[in-house]
């Protein structure tokens, strides 16, 4: 059996190869995606995989999981690439670390290095969304000889460390500040079932305003229970996300990214030296995060990422890869094709 989930059937080859049960609400194309496990630094980590050719590794954000890359994985596989989308440690079907509250961004970088080494992959294209973008850049800074190019969605390159967090420019009740407080998000989330928590976060993060609560509110209180899901996000999608977070819980997710956010890259040369792509939705709330829109549109970001293409999608939210999959697929495939 597959670790963590008795509803998944497995066949042992060189890794665990899992076939998605037919009763799950997954399209026929997604049934071609294999679900594998590999031992990485003492943990059994899950990754989804499809296609053959140059390797593209997709790194998820929060409240996402490998599943958030379903459209892009199929697209790059059809274009002649091998798509791999792991669940970070403590997320989804990957094993929970013994001390999730001690997890760091560097752990995720080291996990990725060990994973591609275990799979005998020397160089990769990296694609990251939300805090997965930060892992992409961290990895590219520490292991530049292993990276062919990078693409990020929803988050550009950002400096790290205590002095770089724009706390004075953010509302007092901003969700990142609230969730950095040990125990606060746990108590907030604990009032609801997992499916409702994921639904509320997707609704909040699909908006164009920074999610911030008043003094007498918690972040979950910002969503009216009658608010529908975004039009591009189905009940089946929600059920898939909910089942994966029911498996993993939110312990690691609250630690990384939120409580580990001030962690530094640990390198002196802060420059990404490979071709890079940034895709942002024009209605992404993240653009209002501490002057982020000016940082991108003024070209300041290119001080750290010189070879950078930037594309804004006019109606795009924070979830552009799920909201406009065909457009994002084409942007990523075109970017990759120019480099092979």
- Point out the catalytic residue in the list 67, 245, 258, 285: 258
- Whether 130 is catalytic is yes
First to last CA, the chain: 38
Residues whose CB falls within 8 Å of the CB of residue 132, separated by 6 or more in sequence, listed in order: 58, 59, 60, 61, 64, 152
What are the beta bridge partners of residue 9? 19
34 in active site: no
Burial of 158 (0-12, 13-18, 19+ CB in 10 A): middle
Q: State the angle between helix axes of 235-248 and 194-205 in degrees (0 to 180), rounded to the nearest 10.
A: 120
* Residue 18 β-bridge partners: 10, 35
The first and second tokens of residue 71, run together, are 């459209």
DSSP strand pairing (276-281 vs 147-153): parallel
In the chain the beta strands, taken as DSSP E runs, fall at 9-12, 16-19, 34-40, 43-50, 55-59, 82-86, 124-129, 147-153, 276-281, 308-313
Say which of 87, 111, 130, 284 is annotated catalytic.
130
* Known catalytic membership, residue 284: no
Tokens of 179: 């969730």
- What are the catalytic residues? 130, 258, 318
């Amino acid at each position: 059996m597959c670790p963590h989930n008795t509803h998944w059937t497995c066949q042992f080859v060189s890794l665990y190869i899992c076939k998605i049960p037919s009763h799950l609400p997954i399209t026929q194309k997604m049934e071609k995606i294999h679900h594998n496990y590999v031992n990485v630094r003492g943990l059994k980590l899950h990754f989804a995989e499809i296609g053959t050719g140059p390797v593209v590794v997709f790194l998820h954000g929060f409240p996402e999981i490998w599943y958030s890359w379903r459209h892009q994985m199929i697209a790059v596989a059809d274009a002649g690439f091998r798509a791999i989308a792991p669940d970070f440690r403590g997320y989804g079907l990957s094993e929970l670390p013994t001390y999730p509250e001690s997890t760091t961004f560097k752990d995720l970088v080291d996990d990725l290095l060990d994973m591609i080494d275990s799979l005998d992959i020397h160089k990769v294209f990296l694609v990251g969304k939300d805090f997965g973008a930060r892992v992409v850049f961290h990895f590219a800074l520490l292991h530049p000889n292993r990276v062919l190019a990078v693409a990020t969605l929803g988050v550009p390159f950002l400096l790290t460390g205590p002095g770089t967090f724009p706390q004075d420019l953010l509302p007092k009740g901003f969700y990142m500040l609230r969730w950095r407080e040990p125990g606060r998000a746990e108590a907030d989330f604990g009032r609801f079932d997992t499916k409702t928590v994921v639904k509320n976060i997707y609704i909040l993060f699909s908006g164009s305003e920074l999610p911030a609560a008043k003094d007498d509110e918690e972040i979950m209180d910002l969503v009216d229970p009658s608010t529908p899901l975004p039009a591009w996000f189905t009940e089946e999608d929600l059920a898939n996300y909910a089942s994966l977070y029911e498996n993993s819980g939110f312990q690691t997710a609250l630690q990384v990214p939120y409580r580990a956010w001030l962690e530094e890259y640990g390198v002196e040369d802060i420059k990404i030296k490979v071709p890079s792509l940034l895709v942002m939705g024009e209605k992404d709330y993240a653009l209002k995060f501490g002057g982020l829109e000016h940082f991108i549109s003024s070209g300041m970001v290119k001080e750290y990422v010189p070879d950078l293409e930037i594309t804004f999608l006019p109606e795009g939210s924070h979830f552009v890869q799920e909201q406009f999959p065909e457009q994002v697929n084409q942007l990523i495939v075109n970017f990759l094709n120019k480099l092979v």
